[in-house]
Amino acid sequence: MYALKHLFFCIASLIAISATGKPVLPLVFGDHMVLQREKPVPVYGKTTAGAPVKLIFGNQVKEGVAGADGSFQLLLDAMPANSNGQSLFVISGDTVEYKDVLVGEVWLCSGQSNMEYTTNRSAHWYNAKRSKGLDSIQVNQENNPAIRLFLVYRDLTKPSDRNKGWHKAENPWIGQFSAAGYYYARELQSRLHVPVGMIASSVPGSAIEPWLPARQAAQNKDSIEPAGKFFSGLIQPLAPYTIRGFLWYQGETNCMLNQRDEYTQNMKLLITSWRALWNNDSLPFYYVQIAPFKYSTSKGGKIPLNDRSIAFFHDAQDKVLGITRNTARIITTDLADNIDDIHPTYKWEIGKRLAWLALDHTYRVKQVSAGPRIDKVSFKDHQARVDFVDPRLGLEVHDGSKVTGFELAGADGKFYPATGVVKSKKYVQVSAPEVHDPVALRFAWKEDIQPNLFNKAGLPAEPYQTNSAVTVEK
């Protein structure tokens, strides 16, 4: 993981009381910000105790009185999208003016280094073999005033003076921002034609535990950072700034620690606790399956990792879908040119696939957002028949005529590479010469396997293993 770059987002510096009585709002409020459309928007901060507070935005005027501790919160009515910048005035003894404020979609993206991975860094690998991203010249020339970016900085010991606020999507701010987050915004804005605001708050190398509320999280003794550290410093101060939902790209560190069931439960806790901060138990939460990497070369925790460890971690990530609602995840088994690099280059694909989830599930725009998913597996005549859910988009084999990524095992539980043949848009026939009578099947269940089975939307098939009575190798 590369060196930590961002500074601590300290709540004390956000809402400190001004001696002059001038209202002070959290730093997440600023010039060029985006307010969430179609939802009531709280505007909050501190001023002199008991002082009157007035809020003016467009044709809305809201008034209230600060509490005994000087805190105030006024609520703007839900608004339609607006690409024309307006001023937001907060008046209490003195006036604070936020200029060029848009109304549109706001998303919070978080995680570890793959979410922090910048657009500038991604540009060095724009000419990847599977698809193309923006090169350095294009990143520098990119200019989209309908996209606004807010990067959370951090310092572990003192309030930050490096929080630079909201910025239009232009040089140099695009290059310094999360590549996955920016490409997400780019796809979303081009499809919805409304302003998009992105808030990025990530920490390289972080396990999931520091992102959980400390009082509820079980501390992992192998985690470098204590439980709750980033939740209290990097997430909690952002609430209740109105957002549409969350994007999460994390898990590599926990996979190295060989976590499985505990990661599934911690993901559930993270999702429920973040939603609780915003007082909305159904905010969309979309996350990224960790990409292929040689975790078998990592020391991991007490239990040594092997070339199957990532597959079982993928399974732990997938189980989150069954215990939470309004969540979805993208598959990344095809997005690594070098599995010795834990930071795959295809952040433009990550952002686009996350945006497709949002378009499909949140905005109800016609968009395929998932690849082929195995429905059932049957064994007969020394072969396996693999049927897929919802075959309307068909099955496509990239880079060859045979499907790669399958493995079969017999009663001895030993898996061997198997070959798949697409027999129709619904099913694949799988066989392996070493397995005469197969009883178990796996797909994309090994760290160096990058299957070539997709649907017509270009999305990869999901990993899978059969549930079998046979004892199989792990």
Looking at residue 129, its pLDDT comes to: 61
- 23 class by beta-carbon count within 10 Å (0-12 exposed, 13-18 middle, 19+ buried): buried
Contact 25, 43 (CB under 8 A): yes
Looking at residue 128, its pLDDT comes to: 57
Looking at residue 140, its pLDDT comes to: 80
SS3 of residue 185 by DSSP: helix
Contact 11, 236 (CB under 8 A): yes
Contacts of 425 (CB under 8 A, 6+ apart): 391, 392, 394, 395
Query: DSSP of 323-349, one letter per residue?
Result: HSSSEEEE--TT--S-TT-SS-S-HHH
Looking at residue 227, its pLDDT comes to: 85
Looking at residue 12, its pLDDT comes to: 35
From residue 64, give the alpha-carbon distance in Å to each of 15, 95, 96, 222: 18, 15, 16, 48
Using CA atoms, how far apart are residues 386 and 407, in angstroms rounded to an integer?
A: 12
Query: DSSP of 383-448, one letter per residue?
Result: EEEEEEE-GGG--EESSSSSEEEEEEE-TT--EEEEEEEE-SSSEEEEE-TT-SS--EEEES-STT
The residue type found at 290 is I
First-to-last CA distance in the chain?
A: 28
99, two tokens: 């200029």
Looking at residue 220, its pLDDT comes to: 63
- 387 class by beta-carbon count within 10 Å (0-12 exposed, 13-18 middle, 19+ buried): middle
Looking at residue 155, its pLDDT comes to: 44
The residue type found at 259 is Q
Q: Reply yes or no: is the peptide bond before residue 433 cis, omega within 30 of 0.
A: no
- pLDDT tens sequence for the chain (474 residues): 333 333 333 333 333 334 446 899 999 999 999 999 999 999 999 999 999 999 999 999 999 999 999 999 999 999 999 999 999 999 999 999 999 999 999 999 999 999 999 988 887 665 556 666 777 778 788 899 999 999 998 643 344 445 679 999 999 999 999 999 999 999 999 999 999 999 999 999 999 999 999 888 776 666 667 888 899 989 999 999 999 999 999 999 999 999 999 999 999 999 999 999 999 999 999 999 999 999 998 765 667 899 999 999 999 999 999 999 999 999 999 998 888 899 988 999 999 999 999 999 999 999 999 999 999 999 999 999 999 997 778 999 998 789 999 999 999 999 999 999 999 989 999 999 999 999 999 999 999 999 999 999 999 999 999 985 444 445
Contact 286, 327 (CB under 8 A): yes
Q: Which long-range contacts (CB under 8 A, 24 or more apart) does 24-29 make?
A: 24/96, 25/90, 25/96, 26/237, 26/238, 26/241, 27/163, 27/165, 28/150, 28/199, 28/237, 28/238, 28/241, 29/88, 29/98, 29/241
**Residue with tokens 């990224």, as numbered in its chain:** 288
Looking at residue 127, its pLDDT comes to: 57
Phi, psi of 272 (to 5 degrees): -70, -35
Contacts of 181 (CB under 8 A, 6+ apart): 107, 109, 115, 149, 198, 200, 247, 351
Contacts of 266 (CB under 8 A, 6+ apart): 208, 209, 212, 217, 254, 259
Q: How far is CA 189 from the centre of its chain?
A: 17
Longest dimension (CA), the chain: 84
Using CA atoms, how far apart are residues 409 and 106, in angstroms rounded to an integer?
A: 47
In 3D, which of 338, 311, 295, 320 has the Cα closest to residue 407?
311
Q: Which long-range contacts (CB under 8 A, 24 or more apart) does 374-382 make?
A: 374/443, 374/461, 374/462, 374/464, 377/441, 377/466, 379/437, 379/438, 379/439, 382/431, 382/435, 382/436, 382/437, 382/438
What is the pairing mode between strands 52-57 and 60-65?
A: antiparallel
Phi, psi of 102 (to 5 degrees): -105, 165
**Residue with tokens 């079980």, as numbered in its chain:** 218
Q: Please compute Rg for the chain using Cα positions.
A: 24
Instruction: Mark out the alpha helices in 178-287 (DSSP H runs).
Output: 179-192, 229-230, 252-256, 261-277
Contact 68, 105 (CB under 8 A): no
Q: Reply yes or no: is the peptide bond before residue 417 cis, omega within 30 of 0.
A: no
The residue type found at 315 is D
**Residue with tokens 């999460």, as numbered in its chain:** 248
In 3D, which of 115, 302, 301, 298 has the Cα closest to residue 206?
115
